[in-house]
Amino acid sequence: MTKALSQPTEVESIALQTQQEVKRLVLQTQFSFLKIGELLYKAREERHYQYFHTDWIGYLKDLELPVQNPYSWASNVIGVYEQIYLKLNKKPEEMAQMGITKLIRLIPAARNDKLTDDLWTKAQTLSDLDLRREVGHKIGDVDTSQSIICPNCGSEVLGAKWAKGIYAEKIPERG
């Protein structure tokens, strides 16, 4: 809830400036995710990584991304760029407003030509949890002792030990 301000005190003015700056930086960060997706997409597609490494995963590790699984993270930001921006021509401003987390949730729908205008509109307004339900994720208790990296979208899937045998040859070594 936003508090109505008449003549703001110095403290209220500082609080308002802080709030506005944080919102600006968050939006700027979302645009940065899109730009990183574009750069990684081009590095992968044009094989720029081969100038530094023999394989894609080695290249990603060398980037020292501040994430636990660089392959999964890179696959997600590339997927957002490739499937939603390039394939569907969504506006960067709309994408940044929605946020990277929700955009990642939409990658499978975009890849399978099922990202309808209705789903896009819902994604703009729904919470992340509600969007997960909308796209068919099971919400609840999950055995997190086993996981795989989805070979299609690069997301880490928890509680998916059943798929380890099916996708074993496609799953990159974690390290």
In tens, the pLDDT along 103-113 reads 999 999 999 99
Q: Could you report the per-residue pLDDT of 1-42, keeping only the tens digit for each?
A: 565 657 889 999 999 999 999 988 888 888 999 999 999 999
DSSP β-bridge partners for residue 149: 156
**Radius of gyration of the CA atoms of the chain, in A:** 19
Q: Could you report the per-residue pLDDT of 33-73, keeping only the tens digit for each?
A: 999 999 999 999 999 999 999 999 999 999 988 888 899 99
Rounded to whole angstroms, how far apart are CA atoms 87 and 62?
29
Residue 4: per-residue pLDDT? 61
Counting every residue written for the chain, the total comes to 175
Distances (CA, A) of 39 to 47, 98, 152, 155, 161: 11, 20, 20, 19, 33
Residue 143: per-residue pLDDT? 58
